[in-house]
Amino acid sequence: MVGDHHLYVGDHHLYIDGRWRAAGDGGTRDIINPATGSVFAVVDEATPADATDAIAAARAAFDAGEWPATPIAERADLLRRIADLLVRDKAELARIETLDTGKTLAESEIDIDDVISVFRYYASLAETESDRLVDVGVAGVISRVVHEPIGVCVLIAPWNYPLLQISWKIAPALVAGCTMIAKPSEVTPLSTIAFVRLCEEAGVPPGVLNLVQGAGSRLGTALTDTDDVDFISFTGGLSTGRIISETAAKHVTKVAVELGGKNPHIVFADADWDSSVEQVLAGVFLHSGQVCSSGTRLIVDSAIADRFVDALVERAGQIRMGDGLDPASKTGPLVSQAQLDKMNSYVATATEEGAVLRCGGGPPERDDLDPGGYWFAPTIFDRCDRSMAIVRDETFGPILTVERFDTAAEALALGNDTDYGLAAGVRTSDDAVGEHMVRGLRHGTVWLNDFGYYTPAAEWGGFGKSGNGRELGPTGLAEYQETKHIWHNTAPSASQWFTHEKDD
Ligand code: TXE
């Protein structure tokens, strides 16, 4: 057990129309440290009426406020000020993220660095955006395509990368000139609350960024079943994504949903051995597998499969799990009892379905871990196939399944045999095979001889049931923009449709 688990002190109010305030009914929620299972903070819990207030504030700030018409250079400056404040408070934000999610401090620090990069990237991108002139071939007509903010945005984030995922939404929304309501996961709201304080300090105008924390099941209707919202960006589970999409459709509200994945990591016999072992492990066991792009399906060449799996099993047993605040920990606990229950139930089902448990399958055999924490050891199931729930479902935990292939065609078919399509990895030293595979895989991101990396400048999102829409990159900004065509006749004359009727 490691040090500082005292109650995380401070106001954790809602932020609506530039004011911090308690929930309408005075309600609060206990926030749990996953490494101990004990309460370390208490936050205000919004009511549906609070959510409606937040939408009204964002609506007024969009319809009558100055932000949508603020020059792009000023909006970009604001994003850079936010990035500078994130740099200043990085250590504290990383600590909060670790206490809230359980991930290691090293991972939290990388998250905050990525958040900073996203704000800087969108500041620069917005400044280089330009209108598009269209030559319509009509004398005196100037035809332009311009981008305008889409309006009021509802931004709903999950618990696995709390600040990172909300920042992928807030940064482009802000620079596009939108106003918004941010709703972090009720499981991990603290870094978002701290971040909104930084936005206030940086000078985000009242009403532009509003914050309501609380259960999605309670706030969802108020946030999505309304004509006052123009765009909903959601990251989370498939079933929630469906509910939100159906509700939004009633109002013809635009929606972008990122719903996770069941990501294949395909290893050919000629792949570099050491980096393959290393990255297959990191790809699935980092953050205890609670990553939407986690490489949970190992699809390995039969020629090396037994030896490769033996190597993984040996190394998986050495991964040091522990409190994220302990610098010796390489991975942390699961986020909640609910996730722990889910893993235990998948282990039971997989065993019934005939998968062979090679390691893990329950808590690590250690007596130095806090018994209240949500510990689940790196787990490998061999001899798996697509009939098994553990291969089809997004388990969202540290469970690797192993399938074997004999030909590249088989590997490709297996890699695409999923309802999802978020990310995939291919490992081979044959460039032609690699190119064939990366072009054939129906996934939004494909890594060749690497795994897990992304950059703010490249789009992120899924094929299939991994969602629709894209975050990051130019498309991630375009989600927050309307496209308008302006046809400007600089020399109008009355010589068109009804001229002859008048003459007759
Ligand atoms: O997600 P939820 P949960 C997957 C993963 C995980 C499963 C369930 O498989 O085990 O989803 O996780 C808000 N209207 N992913 O239950 O419920 C909720 O408050 C509006 C994949 O935590 O989808 C939170 O802010 N909002 C994933 C957010 O939705 C609602 C990351 C996500 O919660 C709502 C997390 C409603 N009706 C889980 N109901 C990824 N893609 O990375 C809930 N919410």
How much is the pTM?
A: 0.96
pLDDT > 70? residue 4: no
What is 32-47 written as a DSSP string? Answer: EETTTTEEEEEEE---
Residue nearest (by alpha carbon) to ligand 1 atom 13: 216
Helix residue spans in 209-293 (DSSP H): 216-224, 238-250, 273-285
Kindly report the average pLDDT of the chain as a whole number.
96
| Protein residue with its CA nearest to atom 4 in ligand 1 | 237
Whether 463 contacts 448, CB under 8 Å: no
Cα 428 to middle of ligand 1, angstroms: 35
Residue from 43, 188, 240, 466 to probe ligand 1 pocket by mutation (most atoms less than 8 Å from CB):
240
**Percentage helix, strand, coil, to 5, in the chain?**
40, 20, 40
Which residues share a beta bridge with 369? none
Does 90 score more than 90 pLDDT?
A: yes
d(CA 136, CA 446): 39
Return d(Cα 214, Cα 380) in angstroms, integer. Answer: 35
Percent of the chain with pLDDT over 90: 94
With bands split at pLDDT 50, 70 and 90, how would you rate the model's confidence at 10?
A: low
The pLDDT tens digits for 40-58 are 999 999 999 999 999 999 9
Q: What is the residue whose two structure tokens read 């072009």?
A: 439
Choose the catalytic residue: 45, 258, 471, 479.
Answer: 258
Give the Å distances, CA to CA, from 88 to 65, 91, 203, 240, 372: 30, 8, 16, 35, 33
Q: Is the pLDDT score of 259 beyond 70?
A: yes
Catalytic site includes residue 153: no
One-letter identity of residue 222: A
Say how far apart CA 183 and CA 154 lie, in whole Å: 8
Band of pLDDT at residue 3, cut at 50, 70 and 90: very low
> Which residues sit opposite 424 in a β-bridge?
446
Q: pLDDT value at position 210?
A: 98
Q: Write down the pLDDT at residue 494.
A: 76
Q: What is the arithmetic mean of pLDDT over 75-84?
A: 98
- Residue 62 and residue 185 in contact, taking contact as beta carbons nearer than 8 Å: no
Residues 287-331: tens digit of each pLDDT: 999 999 999 999 999 999 999 999 999 999 999 999 999 999 999
236 lines ligand 1 (CB under 6 A): yes
Closest-CA residue to 82 (of 196, 161, 205): 196
Annotation marks residue 435 as catalytic: no
Tokens of residue 247, six digits = 């509700």
Residue 499 reports pLDDT greater than 90: no
